[in-house]
Amino acid sequence: MRQVMTGNYASAYGAKLSRAEVIAAYPITPQTSIVEKLAELVSTGELKAKFISVESEHSAMAACISASIVGARTYTATSSHGLTLMHEVLMWASGARLPIVITNVSRAMAPPWSVWADHMDSIAQRDTGWLQFFCSSNQEVLDTTIMAYKICESRNVMLPAMVIEDAFILSHTSEPVDMPEQEAVDSFLPSFSPELKVEIGKPMGFGSLVKPDQYMEFRYKAMLAMKAARERILRVEKEFKQVFGREYGGLLENYRCDDAEVVLVAAGSTAATAKDVVDSLREKGQKVGLARLRVFRPFPHEEFRALASKVAGIAVLDRSYTFGVSGAFFTEIKGSIYDCPKRPAMKNYIAGLGGRDITPKILEKIFDDIQLFVKRREETDVEWVDVAGLPRRWH
Amino acid sequence: MTKSYEEIPLTPISNTPSTMNMTGLWRAFRPIVDISKCKRCTICWKFCPDAAIKLVDFVPVIDLKYCKGCGICSAECPAKCIEMIKEGIE
Ligand code: SF4
Ligand code: SF4
């Protein structure tokens, strides 16, 4: 049934349809209406779950970990400073191999204080061992939440996942969302039954101390699991399409890339705008495409290498900046294609920090710029877009 | 010899509770309570980070199997009735 809802409600309904059994959340800012909606669904009995209000996001994740250890399907949502406060326990969740799913409403980090869209919070968690899905629509947010549980809970993965939606542009903006039937979701996503869990009368400690001669083997296993997640993501999406009729393009969605000379790489809501820009530039005869980075962890190496062999230039839009380097997407994509026989020209565009609008006009200019860059490389390959005081005009 | 990564669980599992971990062996200093001066305020009991203090009629009894000898109880006792003495000296 189609309904009009915000990205936050799409997240909440995604967790509800997945039958999350324990939801632990910090209820105050930077929290969003996601857990407010879930608390309501729990209080009316529509969702049979235990809702635990805690005193911090660090505690929220600690509670999710404990619940997951006893075999409950768990969920929480957070944003910006809440996510970074969770950092330590995010590592614990992946190391203990618990398939917890969370939504992060991606926002800028302070100072300067901000509550608007930016990917810095999510990017700062890239080494925590979590799968990371960047969504471009509210429908994708709901569908990805359901798929994430199925991906993560499979025996050869058993890692947690973060579903990322851009603050306000998705989180507080209403869009039509097709709400799947509960029965259909139930048969798509069976209940969580881990091989190993703590039970009454069977006490255990998860993630206990090991000596240097044992540590690496556990990390090696997690590495294999992250590798296995790649195939699992593709398979689950295929199954999802069969049942619900929707698909999102795997780890890296190629949009009109087949005969493209240059492509833009973008993630999140910007990627949705970029599709319209690609369409209008195509009408004008420009051979441009969009590669939407949907899954950042595991990183789509193979997809980028395939793309690199086809195009002359790649523009990478990062909505975050790693000081002293460049945008994170840029560095990783570059590293990924280093030993490809054919390496396209690559330029990084830092844009939209702290919720600054990334307009179709700006994206058009990025496409113009990368086409010039392919012909005549400049000294710098990292450009800050739309910063007051810089000579280039973007509007 | 370490087991192959294929033979180990996903994450290290311990089957023994933490009460099997005799942290008292770590102790270099031992807390001695002068019960005659104790005000029964229970502050030491609240502060012990190892829950090694039990209360009997509001008087602390230290479980030396677990007491690590950190000295927090001694520092926090307002009546100054917990003395830390070096282990091995009676
Ligand atoms: S010395 Fe430390 S561990 Fe021992 S009883 Fe006092 S506070 Fe507890
Ligand atoms: S803190 Fe000192 S006075 Fe208070 S109960 Fe403990 S030993 Fe007694």
Q: What is the pLDDT of residues A234-275, one digit of tens each?
A: 999 999 999 999 999 999 999 999 999 999 999 999 999 999
Q: Which two tokens stand for residue A96?
A: 């203990």
Q: What distance in Å separates the CA atoms of residue A272 and residue A265, rounded to the nearest whole number?
A: 12
pLDDT band at B36 (very low <50, low <70, confident <90, very high): very high
Residue-level pLDDT at A204:
86
pTM recorded for the entire structure:
0.92
Residue-level pLDDT at A395:
85
Q: What distance in Å separates the CA atoms of residue A213 and residue B78, rounded to the nearest whole number?
A: 46
Residue-level pLDDT at B89:
65
The answer to whether B8 contacts A221, with C-beta atoms less than 8 Å apart, is yes
First-to-last CA distance in chain A?
40
CA of A315 to the centre of ligand 1 (A): 60
Residue-level pLDDT at B90:
58
pLDDT band at B1 (very low <50, low <70, confident <90, very high): low
User: What integer is the mean pLDDT of B14-28?
Assistant: 88
Residue-range definition of the domain harbouring residue B70: 31-86
Q: What's chain B's Rg over C-alpha atoms?
A: 18
Query: Quick check: is B35 in a domain?
Result: yes
User: What is the domain partition of chain A in residue ranges?
Assistant: 2-244, 252-384
Q: What distance in Å separates the CA atoms of residue A78 and residue A164, rounded to the nearest whole number?
A: 10
User: What integer is the mean pLDDT of A225-230?
Assistant: 98
Query: Quick check: is B53 in a domain?
Result: yes
pLDDT of residue B17 exceeding 80: no
Q: What is the pLDDT of residues A183-213, one digit of tens each?
A: 999 999 999 999 999 998 888 888 888 999 9
Query: Quick check: is B76 in a domain?
Result: yes
CATH domain A252-384 topology: Rossmann fold (3.40.50)
Q: Which atom of ligand 1 is nearest to the CA of B23?
A: 3
How close is the nearest chain B Cα to the Cα of A202, in Å?
8
| The CATH number of domain A2-244 is 3.40.50.970 | yes
Residue-level pLDDT at B83:
97
Residue of B nearest to A157 (CA): B10
Q: What is the pLDDT of residues A134-192, one digit of tens each?
A: 999 999 999 999 999 999 999 999 999 999 999 999 999 999 999 999 999 999 999 99
User: What integer is the mean pLDDT of A60-71?
Assistant: 98
Query: Quick check: is B12 in a domain?
Result: no
Least CB–CB distance from A205: residue in B5, B10, B13: B13
Least CB–CB distance from B5: residue in A95, A207, A217: A217
Number of domains in chain B: 1
pLDDT of residue A126 exceeding 70: yes
The answer to whether B11 contacts A220, with C-beta atoms less than 8 Å apart, is no
ipTM for this prediction:
0.87
Mean pLDDT of chain A: 97
Residue of A nearest to B5 (CA): A217
Element (H, E) at B74: helix B72-76
Q: What is the pLDDT of residues A91-125, one digit of tens each?
A: 999 999 999 999 999 999 999 999 999 999 999 99
* Chain position carrying tokens 């091995």: B88
pLDDT of residue A282 exceeding 90: yes
* Chain position carrying tokens 């857990």: A35
Closest to A216 measured CA to CA, from B12, B87, B59, B80: B12
pLDDT of residue A23 exceeding 70: yes
